[in-house]
Chain A
């Protein structure tokens, strides 16, 4: 005889799948290093994401309190190891601010050239790695092919390919070598048409659009509340870029340069170049827009490098001699933020009058950008987790320091 059940819903609600806790990382191909995400999954759907940090913590800030500012430069390289030049710049400017040290025009333009090239290299990795996250391997190698050439240029400048320690408080360790500007110009000319390839492979690819549009939407309010900066903030349509809105000491580097902040204003992006159109599925603040902002910033940076090279070649003054190791730091505290490729990179320095800082702290952009992850990863399929985390373009070395 069949069992009688009065309320059929009892069975209905009894048949359900269990939740499963999955560790994504710290050894996982698409967590960009040693990020560990604990996913609470119901089948393919992720209900909760908790990022766990600290696997790459190297006490960089504490070390900074035992070294002179120039000696600490190599440690800044190793924070955001994909944009070492920009990290050098952040620390150098911070120390210069404390020392009230002013640079010649030439040194400033040199820094613009180097940092914008660094931004291109970093965004290329971000783009290639994002392709990997979405399961296509070729754009990664296409991006690295061009990045190699930037690294070659950097190698000529400072002898290193990843951890440059080139820009230091007081200027840079050396002037640009002879003929470097021509090589750089040549690179930019050859690089310009290749960007269309990247757009064909990723930005306008139908599957790529399907995988990124309307995924991980970050509203402008949320982006501001969580302290997101850089392309993540601008991808949400917030018109904010420290190169224009930052501190005087930083923005004076870009005085007189023609550039528009890359973000969607009044429904469109800056119209100074021929960009692929925004797909109709895309929502402001989704993964596609964050990616797109990075791609446009590559073009913008190329433009800035060209302008800087023109100015550099006619500028007066020297390239900036680094400060002495024994330079006494005046007592006081300074904080300065610069626009690194991944967002606002701030350094805080407290001095009690010696030649070694008393306190050093860094404010990392990736850390804040990652903090939105638990919010925007709620209720998405597992496959979208790499897509969202990849679009934030985090570097663990910068998060853990």
Chain B
């Protein structure tokens, strides 16, 4: 894309920094819209779903029948509110904290692919990172700094409690979360989220969830840990309104408060989308519609290029959005059903249950993969499991050139390597 822009501005310099900058800006604006609109929808959804769970209607007026503009009205109200910084607060850090929190949540979206590269070489991500899983988790982990900072800088004892709880809880849950995420990475042989998603192409039995009984188990551990690490009930101890008033955001009001909220809902969608990519086939639907279509039309090369590839990409985006939204809905559902755990119980659950279960699952999945035991995903294997693993190691070692791969006739691999070699956005 940078080249495309530079072809207008600097035809002789395809890598000119202005083109790169403009490209980055476009990406940033798009991602910020994904998060902002996502938060808008999710907050509305939370209110509607909780309303239905609690035998009431939820918002019904703003924006027509379903009150779908309610969040926007709330947002306007929050913007119009007075910006209060408590006298006891550390003014600078107090103001910095929500942005820090939001930035972390936002940055993680950069590496999140929304579809495979059907028509172009790279996946539909702002920046396809070859260690995508690692990047997303690492950056998401930074969100905790904003919360701790808010707790510390507010100058309120309740906020301090909230911040300290967050520190204890989120840092603990990073461990089982990492252990859970390692399993799909191991199965795919790559940390690249696009590769991991592509590995699960074909029938839904190819999803890593159905790879073996251990991955099926570990998904639930992952989801639990993900809820804990994004501070959703029953693990919302950092804000625990019945104990700590509002925890780390007790002193926040107006826009700053809403930025915390946006970060929370952004992270919720992020971990759900990550779950979709790691366990639920990402952008691949339950049935390979487009691949079937392509073979029916007699197009041999799939993933195909051109219009069908583009449409397939859009369908992939719809798929992953749907899966992400389902994940968020489950989180909302859980929040409005269960009581909150106590802090020691939350930590106990992490170290005594989640970590051992995830570790056992890792060993089990390793055994399963190594011995190639039959399970659901052997029903309809779309492509050789070894293929991408090979690609990964070869890629790292730089042993084969793209042309050599073309000779072998494995176009996918060649494409992957070309992409790596090209390195454009």
Chains A and B are bound partners: yes
List residues of chain A with CB under 8 Å of any chain B CB.
Answer: 20, 22, 28-30, 43-44, 131-138, 141-142, 145, 201-202, 205, 207-208, 210-211, 381-386
Judge whether A30 and B53 touch: CB under 8 Å.
no
Identity of the chain B residue whose Cβ is nearest the Cβ of A385 in the assembled complex:
B243
When distances are taken between beta carbons in the complex, the residues of chain B under 8 Å from A211 are 339-342, 345
Which residues of chain B come closer than 8 Å to A383, judged between CB atoms? 237, 240, 243, 340, 342-343
How large, as a class, is the contact surface on chain B? 20 to 34
State how many angstroms separate the Cβ of B235 from the closest Cβ of chain A.
Answer: 10
Instruction: Tell me the bound Cα distance from A137 to B334 in angstroms.
Output: 11
Is B337 in contact with chain A by the CB < 8 A criterion?
yes
How distant is the Cα of A87 from the Cα of B401 in the complex, in angstroms?
A: 88
Q: Is the CB of B241 within 8 A of A135?
A: yes
- Asked if B56 lies at the interface with its beta carbon under 8 angstroms from chain A, I say yes
Q: Does chain A have a CB within 8 A of B393? A: no
A137 CA to B51 CA in the complex, in Å?
A: 11
The residues of A that contact B340 with a CB separation of less than 8 Å are 134-136, 207, 211, 383
Residues on the A chain within 8 Å of B336, using CB: 136-138
**29 A-B contact pairs sorted by A residue (CB < 8 Å):** A22-B157, A29-B245, A44-B161, A44-B344, A134-B242, A135-B234, A135-B236, A135-B241, A135-B242, A135-B243, A135-B339, A136-B233, A136-B337, A137-B50, A137-B54, A138-B336, A141-B55, A142-B54, A202-B339, A205-B339, A207-B234, A210-B342, A211-B342, A381-B343, A382-B161, A382-B244, A383-B240, A386-B242, A386-B243
Measured CA separation A386–B53 after assembly (Å): 25
A29-B341 contact given A138-B336, A141-B56, A382-B161, CB 8 Å threshold: no
Nearest Cβ in chain B — how far from A380, in angstroms? 10
Contact indicator B54/A132 (Cβ below 8 Å) = no
Q: Which residues of A contact B343 (CB under 8 A)?
A: 44, 381, 383
Chain A to chain B: the 5 pairs with minimum beta-carbon distance, closest first = A135-B340, A134-B339, A30-B242, A136-B339, A141-B54
Q: Which residues of B contact A384 (CB under 8 A)?
A: 342
Residue of A nearest to B158 (CB): A22
Query: Which residue from B161, B237, B338 sits with its C-beta under 8 Å from A136?
Result: B338
Q: Which of B54, B241, B339 has the most CB of A within 10 A?
A: B339
Contacts of A386 in B (CB 8 A): 242-243
Chain B nearest CB from A30 CB (Å) reads 4
Q: What separation, in Å, do the CA atoms of A381 and B243 have in the docked complex?
A: 10
Q: Chain A residue with minimal CB distance to B340?
A: A135
Interface centre among B55, B245, B342 (most CB of A within 10 A): B342
| Cβ contact within 8 Å between B55 and A145 | yes
Distance to closest chain A CB from B56 (angstroms): 7
Query: A132-B242, A134-B242 in contact; A207/B53 too (CB < 8 A)?
Result: no
- Docked Cα-Cα span, A135 to B340, in Å, equals 5
CB distance from B50 to the nearest CB of A (A): 8
Q: Which A residue sits closest to B53, measured CB to CB?
A: A138
A386 to B158, CA, bound (A): 14
> What residue in chain A is nearest B242 (Cβ atoms)?
A30
CA distance A384 to B234 in the complex (A): 15
Do residues B233 and A135 form an inter-chain contact, with CB atoms below 8 A?
A: yes
- Does B245 contact A28, Cβ atoms closer than 8 Å? yes
A207 in complex: contacting residue of B240, B243, B244, B338, CB < 8 Å: B338
Q: Is the CB of B339 within 8 A of A208?
A: yes
Type the 1/0 row for B231-274, where 1 means its CB is closer than 8 Å to any CB of A: 00110110011111100000000000000000000000000000
Q: How far is the CA of A207 from the CA of B341 in the complex (A)?
A: 6
The answer for the CA separation of A291 and B340 in the assembled complex, in Å, is: 17
Q: Mark B343-355, 1 if CB is under 8 A from A, else 0.
A: 1110000000000
The A-B contact count (CB < 8 A) is 84
Cβ contact within 8 Å between B337 and A29? no
Chain B residues near A132 (CB, 8 Å)? 242
Give every chain A residue within 8 A of B341 (Cβ-Cβ). 207, 210-211
Chain A residues with CB below 8 A from B339, complex form = 131, 134-136, 202, 205, 207-208, 211
Question: A-contacting residues of B (Cβ < 8 Å)?
Answer: 50, 53-56, 157-158, 161, 164-165, 233-234, 236-237, 240-245, 336-345
Residues of B within 8 A of A145 (CB): 55
- Are the C-beta atoms of B342 and A381 separated by less than 8 Å? yes
Complex-state Cα separation, A141 to B165, whole angstroms: 29
Q: How far is the CB of A32 from chain B (nearest CB, A)?
A: 11
Which partner residue on chain B sits nearest A383 by CB separation?
B342
Select from chain A the residue with minimum beta-carbon distance to B346.
Answer: A383
Q: Which residues of A contact B165 (CB under 8 A)?
A: 44
B158 partner residues in chain A, CB cutoff 8 A: 22
Residue of B nearest to A140 (CB): B54
Closest chain-A Cβ to B169's Cβ sits at a distance in Å of 12
Distance A202 CA – B340 CA, assembled complex (angstroms): 12
Q: In the assembly, what is the distance between CA of A152 and CA of B366, in Å?
A: 63
On whether A135 and B240 interact (CB within 8 A), knowing A44-B161, A205-B339, A210-B345, the answer reads: yes
- Least CB distance from B337 to A in Å reads 6
A133 touches which one: B242, B244, B345 (CB < 8 A)?
B242
Residue from the set A30, A43, A131, A136 with the largest chain B CB neighbour count within 10 Å = A136
**What A residues does B337 contact at CB under 8 A?**
136, 138, 201
How far, in angstroms, from A165 to B342 measured CA to CA in the complex? 42
Roughly how many angstroms separate A386 CA and B164 CA in the complex, as a whole number?
A: 19
Most buried by B among A28, A205, A384: A28
> Nearest-CB distance from B228 to chain A (Å)?
13
Alpha-carbon distance A207/B56, docked complex (angstroms)? 25
Residue of B nearest to A132 (CB): B242
**A136 vs B157: C-alpha distance when bound (angstroms):** 24
Give the residue among B54, B158, B237 with the most A Cβ atoms within 10 A. Answer: B54
CA distance A237 to B22 in the complex (A): 73
CB proximity of A48 to chain B, nearest CB, Å: 16
Using Cβ atoms and an 8 Å threshold, which residues of chain A touch B54? Answer: 137-138, 141-142
Shortest C-beta distance, B158 to chain A (Å), equals 8
The minimal Cβ–Cβ distance linking B299 to chain A, given in whole angstroms, is 52
Nearest B residue to A208, CB-CB: B339
- When C-beta atoms are compared, the residue in chain A nearest to B55 turns out to be A145
A142 to B236, CA, bound (A): 22
Give the distance to chain A from B237, nearest Cβ to Cβ, in Å. Answer: 8
Interchain CA distance A384-B345 in the complex, whole Å: 12
Given contacts A205-B339, A207-B339, A208-B339, contact A29 B161 (CB under 8 A): no
| Distance in angstroms between the alpha carbons of A384 and B344 in the assembled complex | 11
Give Cα distance in the complex from A133 to B242, angstroms: 5
Report B197 CB to chain A, min CB distance, Å: 34
Q: Which residue of A lies closest to B236 (CB)?
A: A135
Cβ-neighbour of A29 out of B56, B241, B344 (below 8 A) = B241
Closest chain B residue to A201 by CB distance? B337
B contact residues around A131 at 8 Å (CB) = 339
Q: List B contacts of A201 (CB < 8 A).
A: 337
Q: A142 vs B53: C-alpha distance in the bound complex, in angstroms?
A: 10
CA distance A272 to B161 in the complex (A): 46
Q: Once bound together, how far apart are the Cα atoms of A201 and B339, in whole Å?
A: 9
Distance between Cα atoms of A381 and B164 in the complex (Å): 14
Known contacts A135-B339, A381-B344, A142 near B55 by CB under 8 Å: yes
Output the nearest chain A residue to B234 by Cβ-Cβ distance: A207
Max chain A C-beta neighbours (<10 A), residue from B233, B236, B240: B240
B161: A residues at CB distance < 8 A = 44, 382
In the bound assembly, the distance between CA atoms of A331 and B240 in angstroms comes to 55
8 Å CB contact of B338 from A22, A43, A205:
A205
